[in-house]
């Protein structure tokens, strides 16, 4: 497996701690071990993706195991469908929680790459999980050659169908996770007069066939104020809740629905 240059699409090769292409575009590895393949001219802001505060909140929350059942289900499906897979990609891998647990569940000859637009998240991920190859890049323009991966994982990360199809091998497996109808509905009821459920319809990804779908439904109950704060900061509803509402939840505790829609696709 090699990276491709985000500027000219030629293959990158590693010289010491620098990735470079035949046109001499060069990308240094950070001290933590990841490589930044998101050129300045392709950034939409100085520090795209989740900031340090959001990354820290998600890291602390996930490390408590509150979403472990989702991770376990992803790993179970990966082991069921990934016979003979050698190269995988976690799209929007964040701080690496799901990536690491996935690798630990698969055979030792499986190699995983993680890509995320947030440098803050990958600093933590690369330092903590050195057995995974992490790169800062956009999921809309991924720094990999065509037909690179047997398997891809996408948990909540936005992406382009054509780009997913480009980097996966024919017959490769894609596992996606998105919000089911009742996901976090109790929070929506605090914010909106007429909250709407997410769609229950199957996802459509051009160039892929859906081969499995299921939902994971649970009740999340949090009593610790720090855990509640971390949870709210990692959801989009954090910006909608008032400070008074957040304080009230921290005092009284929080209970809301978890509803994950997990789907398995095969590349055509």
Residue 234 inside a domain? The answer is: yes
> Is pLDDT of 247 > 70?
yes
pLDDT band at 145; cut points 50, 70, 90:
very high
Residue 44 inside a domain? The answer is: no
> Is pLDDT of 47 > 60?
no
How far apart are alpha carbons 234 and 14 in whole angstroms?
A: 35
The pLDDT of residue 137: 94
Q: Does 5 belong to an annotated binding site?
A: yes
The pLDDT of residue 40: 74
**CATH number of the structural domain spanning residue 210:** 3.40.50.150
The token duo for 151 is: 């398997």
> Is pLDDT of 49 > 60?
no
The token duo for 117 is: 């637009």
Residue 185 inside a domain? The answer is: yes
Residue 71 inside a domain? The answer is: yes
> Is pLDDT of 55 > 90?
no
The pLDDT of residue 189: 93
> Is pLDDT of 237 > 90?
no
Q: Does 53 belong to an annotated binding site?
A: no
Q: Does 29 belong to an annotated binding site?
A: no
The pLDDT of residue 50: 67
The pLDDT of residue 53: 85
End-to-end CA distance of the chain: 22
Mean pLDDT of the chain: 93
Q: Does 21 belong to an annotated binding site?
A: yes
Q: What pTM value is reported for the model?
A: 0.94
> Is pLDDT of 1 > 80?
no
Q: Does 95 belong to an annotated binding site?
A: yes
Q: Does 67 belong to an annotated binding site?
A: yes
Tell me the residue range of the domain where 22 lies.
Answer: 3-39+49-267
Give me the mean pLDDT over the 233-245 stretch. Answer: 89
The pLDDT of residue 21: 95
**Which string of DSSP letters, residue by residue, matches 66-134?**
TTHHHHHHHHHHHHHH-TT--EEEEET-TTSHHHHHHHHHS-TT-EEEEEES-HHHHHHHHHH-TTSEE
Domains of the chain: total: 1
Residue 162 inside a domain? The answer is: yes
Residue 190 inside a domain? The answer is: yes
Give me the mean pLDDT over the 102-123 stretch. Answer: 94
């Amino acid at each position: 497996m090699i990276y491709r240059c985000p500027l000219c699409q030629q293959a990158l090769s590693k010289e010491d701690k620098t990735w470079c292409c035949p046109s001499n575009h060069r990308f240094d590895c950070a001290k933590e071990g990841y490589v930044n393949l998101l050129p300045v001219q392709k950034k939409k802001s100085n520090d795209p993706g989740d900031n340090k505060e959001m990354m820290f909140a998600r890291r602390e929350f996930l490390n408590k195991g509150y979403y472990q059942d989702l991770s376990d289900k992803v790993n179970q499906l990966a082991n069921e469908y990934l016979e003979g897979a050698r190269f995988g990609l976690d799209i929007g891998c964040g701080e690496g929680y799901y990536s690491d647990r996935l690798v630990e569940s698969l055979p030792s000859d499986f190699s995983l790459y993680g890509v995320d637009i947030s440098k803050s998240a990958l600093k933590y991920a690369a330092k903590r999980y050195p057995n995974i190859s992490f790169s800062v890049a956009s999921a809309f323009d991924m720094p990999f050659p065509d037909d690179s991966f047997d398997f891809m994982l996408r948990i909540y990360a936005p992406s382009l169908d054509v780009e997913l199809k480009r980097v996966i091998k024919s017959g490769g497996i894609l596992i996606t996770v998105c919000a089911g109808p009742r996901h976090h509905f109790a929070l929506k009821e605090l914010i909106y007069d007429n909250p709407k459920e997410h769609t229950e319809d199957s996802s459509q990804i051009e160039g892929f066939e859906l081969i499995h779908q299921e939902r994971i439904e649970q009740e999340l109950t949090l009593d610790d104020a720090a855990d509640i704060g971390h949870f709210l900061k990692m959801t989009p509803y954090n910006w909608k809740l008032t400070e008074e509402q957040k304080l009230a939840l921290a005092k009284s505790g929080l209970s809301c629905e978890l509803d994950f829609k997990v789907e398995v696709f095969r590349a055509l």
